[in-house]
Structure 1
Protein backbone atom coordinates (compact mmCIF):
# COMPACT_ATOMS: atom_id res chain seq x y z
CA UNK A 1 0.00 0.00 0.00
CA UNK A 2 1.17 3.50 -0.84
CA UNK A 3 -0.39 6.79 0.20
CA UNK A 4 0.02 10.50 -0.21
CA UNK A 5 -1.64 13.56 1.28
CA UNK A 6 -2.88 16.28 -1.03
CA UNK A 7 -4.78 19.54 -0.91
CA UNK A 8 -7.63 20.00 -3.38
CA UNK A 9 -6.68 22.96 -5.56
CA UNK A 10 -9.66 23.26 -7.91
CA UNK A 11 -11.73 26.35 -7.00
CA UNK A 12 -14.96 24.32 -7.00
CA UNK A 13 -13.48 21.24 -5.32
CA UNK A 14 -14.15 17.78 -6.74
CA UNK A 15 -17.39 18.59 -8.52
CA UNK A 16 -18.72 16.53 -11.45
CA UNK A 17 -16.08 17.18 -14.11
CA UNK A 18 -12.88 16.79 -12.04
CA UNK A 19 -14.41 13.88 -10.12
CA UNK A 20 -15.24 12.11 -13.40
CA UNK A 21 -11.70 12.69 -14.71
CA UNK A 22 -10.26 11.22 -11.50
CA UNK A 23 -12.59 8.19 -11.48
CA UNK A 24 -11.95 7.46 -15.17
CA UNK A 25 -8.19 7.67 -14.64
CA UNK A 26 -8.30 5.35 -11.61
CA UNK A 27 -10.44 2.84 -13.52
CA UNK A 28 -7.40 2.00 -15.66
CA UNK A 29 -5.59 0.52 -12.66
CA UNK A 30 -6.29 -2.89 -11.10
CA UNK A 31 -5.45 -1.68 -7.57
CA UNK A 32 -7.88 -0.42 -4.93
CA UNK A 33 -8.03 3.37 -4.64
CA UNK A 34 -9.31 4.93 -1.44
CA UNK A 35 -9.66 8.61 -0.59
CA UNK A 36 -9.72 9.56 3.09
CA UNK A 37 -11.37 12.85 3.97
CA UNK A 38 -12.86 14.12 7.22
CA UNK A 39 -12.65 10.66 8.79
CA UNK A 40 -14.45 8.98 5.88
CA UNK A 41 -13.12 6.40 3.44
CA UNK A 42 -14.26 6.95 -0.13
CA UNK A 43 -13.97 4.53 -3.05
CA UNK A 44 -11.81 6.46 -5.53
CA UNK A 45 -13.23 4.45 -8.44
CA UNK A 46 -16.87 5.34 -7.75
CA UNK A 47 -18.22 8.62 -9.11
CA UNK A 48 -21.13 8.56 -6.64
CA UNK A 49 -18.79 8.05 -3.68
CA UNK A 50 -16.47 10.86 -4.76
CA UNK A 51 -19.32 13.30 -5.41
CA UNK A 52 -21.17 12.45 -2.19
CA UNK A 53 -18.04 13.25 -0.17
CA UNK A 54 -18.47 16.96 -1.09
CA UNK A 55 -14.71 17.55 -1.22
CA UNK A 56 -14.13 21.30 -1.45
CA UNK A 57 -11.19 23.49 -2.44
CA UNK A 58 -8.56 23.50 0.29
CA UNK A 59 -9.66 20.13 1.70
CA UNK A 60 -6.82 17.95 2.92
CA UNK A 61 -7.25 14.40 1.65
CA UNK A 62 -5.19 11.22 1.73
CA UNK A 63 -5.06 9.01 -1.33
CA UNK A 64 -4.31 5.32 -0.71
CA UNK A 65 -3.62 2.76 -3.41
CA UNK A 66 -3.19 -0.92 -2.73
CA UNK A 67 -2.41 -3.68 -5.20
CA UNK A 68 -1.00 -4.04 -8.67
CA UNK A 69 0.30 -0.79 -10.22
CA UNK A 70 -0.35 1.08 -6.97
CA UNK A 71 2.53 3.53 -7.39
CA UNK A 72 1.48 4.58 -10.89
CA UNK A 73 -2.13 5.02 -9.74
CA UNK A 74 -1.07 7.12 -6.76
CA UNK A 75 1.10 9.40 -8.88
CA UNK A 76 -1.67 9.97 -11.42
CA UNK A 77 -4.30 10.59 -8.73
CA UNK A 78 -2.08 13.09 -6.93
CA UNK A 79 -1.39 14.92 -10.19
CA UNK A 80 -5.13 15.18 -10.90
CA UNK A 81 -6.01 16.47 -7.43
Structure 2
Protein backbone atom coordinates (compact mmCIF):
# COMPACT_ATOMS: atom_id res chain seq x y z
CA UNK A 1 0.00 0.00 0.00
CA UNK A 2 1.12 3.54 -0.70
CA UNK A 3 -0.39 6.80 0.54
CA UNK A 4 0.69 10.45 0.72
CA UNK A 5 0.28 12.51 3.88
CA UNK A 6 0.86 16.19 4.68
CA UNK A 7 2.64 16.85 7.99
CA UNK A 8 0.29 19.15 9.93
CA UNK A 9 2.40 19.62 13.04
CA UNK A 10 3.87 23.15 13.07
CA UNK A 11 7.21 21.75 14.24
CA UNK A 12 7.35 18.98 11.62
CA UNK A 13 8.39 15.46 12.51
CA UNK A 14 10.94 16.22 15.24
CA UNK A 15 12.28 13.82 17.92
CA UNK A 16 9.16 13.22 20.03
CA UNK A 17 6.65 12.55 17.21
CA UNK A 18 9.30 10.58 15.32
CA UNK A 19 9.80 8.37 18.39
CA UNK A 20 6.04 7.77 18.60
CA UNK A 21 5.99 6.90 14.90
CA UNK A 22 8.84 4.39 15.30
CA UNK A 23 7.15 2.84 18.32
CA UNK A 24 3.89 2.43 16.38
CA UNK A 25 5.68 1.11 13.26
CA UNK A 26 7.51 -1.49 15.35
CA UNK A 27 4.18 -2.83 16.63
CA UNK A 28 3.41 -4.19 13.14
CA UNK A 29 5.06 -7.18 11.42
CA UNK A 30 5.04 -5.59 7.94
CA UNK A 31 7.69 -3.43 6.26
CA UNK A 32 6.96 0.29 6.61
CA UNK A 33 8.88 2.98 4.72
CA UNK A 34 8.72 6.76 4.57
CA UNK A 35 9.58 8.58 1.36
CA UNK A 36 10.50 12.27 1.13
CA UNK A 37 11.59 13.40 -2.30
CA UNK A 38 14.11 10.86 -3.57
CA UNK A 39 14.95 9.47 -0.11
CA UNK A 40 13.30 6.31 1.23
CA UNK A 41 13.88 5.15 4.82
CA UNK A 42 12.76 2.44 7.19
CA UNK A 43 10.00 3.83 9.43
CA UNK A 44 11.19 1.53 12.23
CA UNK A 45 14.46 3.47 12.57
CA UNK A 46 14.44 6.73 14.55
CA UNK A 47 17.76 7.86 13.10
CA UNK A 48 16.53 7.32 9.53
CA UNK A 49 13.37 9.32 10.12
CA UNK A 50 15.22 12.20 11.79
CA UNK A 51 17.74 12.22 8.92
CA UNK A 52 14.90 13.08 6.52
CA UNK A 53 14.44 16.44 8.30
CA UNK A 54 10.68 16.47 7.78
CA UNK A 55 9.26 19.98 8.20
CA UNK A 56 5.68 21.22 8.66
CA UNK A 57 3.45 21.11 5.56
CA UNK A 58 5.77 18.72 3.71
CA UNK A 59 4.42 15.72 1.81
CA UNK A 60 5.50 12.30 3.02
CA UNK A 61 4.68 9.04 1.27
CA UNK A 62 4.11 6.01 3.49
CA UNK A 63 4.58 2.54 1.99
CA UNK A 64 3.45 -0.57 3.85
CA UNK A 65 4.05 -4.07 2.58
CA UNK A 66 3.26 -7.43 4.14
CA UNK A 67 1.17 -8.78 6.99
CA UNK A 68 -1.29 -6.25 8.50
CA UNK A 69 -0.24 -3.54 6.00
CA UNK A 70 -3.70 -1.93 5.97
CA UNK A 71 -3.81 -1.64 9.76
CA UNK A 72 -0.27 -0.25 9.79
CA UNK A 73 -1.16 2.36 7.14
CA UNK A 74 -4.17 3.47 9.19
CA UNK A 75 -2.19 3.75 12.43
CA UNK A 76 0.78 5.57 10.88
CA UNK A 77 -1.58 7.91 9.01
CA UNK A 78 -3.34 8.85 12.23
CA UNK A 79 -0.02 9.80 13.83
CA UNK A 80 1.13 11.86 10.85
CA UNK A 81 -2.13 13.83 10.56
CA UNK A 82 -2.21 15.05 14.16
TM-score (norm 1): 0.96
How many angstroms does 1:73 deviate by? 0.3
- Matches of 2:32 and 2:48 in 1, distance apart? 12
Consecutive aligned runs of 4 or more in structure 1 exceeding 3 Å deviation: none
Provide the aligned C-alpha RMSD in A: 0.5
Gaps of 5+ in 1: none
Task: Name the residue aligned to 2:6.
Answer: 7
- The count of aligned residue pairs is 80
Gaps of 5+ in 2: none
TM-score (norm 2): 0.95
- Matches of 1:42 and 1:60 in 2, distance apart? 14
Residues 21-59 of structure 1, C-alpha deviations (whole Å, 9 max, x = no match) = 000001000000001101110110100000011000011
Secondary structure, counterpart of 1:71 in structure 2: helix
Task: Name the residue aligned to 2:52.
Answer: 53
